[in-house]
Amino acid sequence: MSQIPRIVIIGAGYGGVVTSIRLQKELNYNEADITLINKHDYHYITTHLHMPAAGTDDPKNARVDISKLIDEFKVDFIKSTVVDINTEEKKVILEDSTVSYDYLVVGLGGEPETFGIPGLKEYALSIRSINSVNYIREHIEYMFAKYKNDESRTDYLTFVVGGSGFTGIEFVGELADRLPKLCSVFNVDPSLVRIVNVEAAPTALPGFDPELVKYAMNLLTDKGVEFMISTPIKECTPDGVILASGEEIKSQTVVWTGGIRGNSLVENAGFEAVRGRVKVDEYLRAPGFDDVFIIGDCSVMFKEDGKPFPPTAQIAMQQGVACAYNLAASIRGEKLKTFKPEIKGTVASLGKGEAIGVVGEKKIKGYTAAIMKKMIDIRYLYIIGGIPLVLKKTRF
């Protein structure tokens, strides 16, 4: 190890950003060189992406310039794409250079999980980045314009959303708010527009409180969303989706929200991974690597009942705090802290002014839950950027 160890953080998602911010507070100037690498020069707030994708919010509100979050005198930022991780030589291979590390933090985002369904990669859209949500928003508006040029093509007005997890439900909630406005702009009969939410599991929001799931489904149904539960998608085609039952839904817009896997770079690096996720130890390190910490979508930890913790933003943030502490402890030769995820609450939005959630033991819904969702968003903005970022990014 060099005299001043080099910490390299790859990925500026929730975990990577929080790790960077905490490290620049934890460490003195002469204790470590810290480098953050990300393919964009901004951090995007993943839990906000369903809104700009539907067109109900400005995409700018879901992104924050990295330069506004880090202290450039303490953290070096490199805008580049990681193409490989060489653990033997302790190097991160970028598209245009190579960076050596003494300690590595893998905070790369996940990738859409298609479960081998033919055609999903080729023909479905996914809510995964600022660029992708910009495309989805513009595509939806373009479908209305195309319909006005050929009113026999009602498939232009059919919107299929695969998956009824958090992203799927939050997206259809925003979409149900947005489409009536587009009908007005393009002078389209609202009765011709369909939003179809298809889910293979026996319930929407699997694992969520059944009473709240029922509330969400009833509310979204009243907004015009059609649910097809216990209905796997067999294939995605240029003309729509084919269900396991053989039924075909004609649509020129299929948005896939059915799952996230870890990052293929993690698998290719030789870590013990399943679907791109590494079962990290109690200190968030990759098995067999005392110098590699893995957080966020690429890590997995298990509950006492043997089930994995979900790869949520709140856990990634908690991992970022713990990872920074354990990095500092490693450098100083001090004892590392065991990390245990703490689920403080879960809230899913259902469109403007509506949400459902569980906070502690309490179930909340409607406007109360929507306010709680807003408070969660504000808290994160405050953590990474203080009051100025809260005022800049929050819709009051």
Q: How far is Cα 348 from Cα 208, in angstroms, rounded to an integer?
A: 10
SS3 of 146, please?
Answer: helix
Is 170 assigned a catalytic role?
A: yes
Residue of 86, 88, 125, 97 lying closest to 35 (CA atoms): 97
Measured torsion, CA atoms of residues 93, 31, 106, 344, in degrees rounded to the nearest 10: -160
One DSSP character per residue, 296-346 reads GGGEE-B-TTSPBPP--HHHHHHHHHHHHHHHHHHHHTPPPPPP-----EE
Supply angle C-alpha 131, 132, 138, rounded to 5.
90
- Catalytic residue, from 122, 138, 151, 170: name it: 170
Structure tokens at 19: 């790790």
Cβ atoms within 10 A of the Cβ of 39, count?
Answer: 17
Cβ atoms within 10 A of the Cβ of 139, count?
Answer: 14
40-76: string of b/e by CB count within 10 Å (b at 16+)? eebbbbbbbbbbbbbbbbebeebbbebeebbeeebbe
Cβ atoms within 10 A of the Cβ of 285, count?
Answer: 21
Catalytic residues: 170
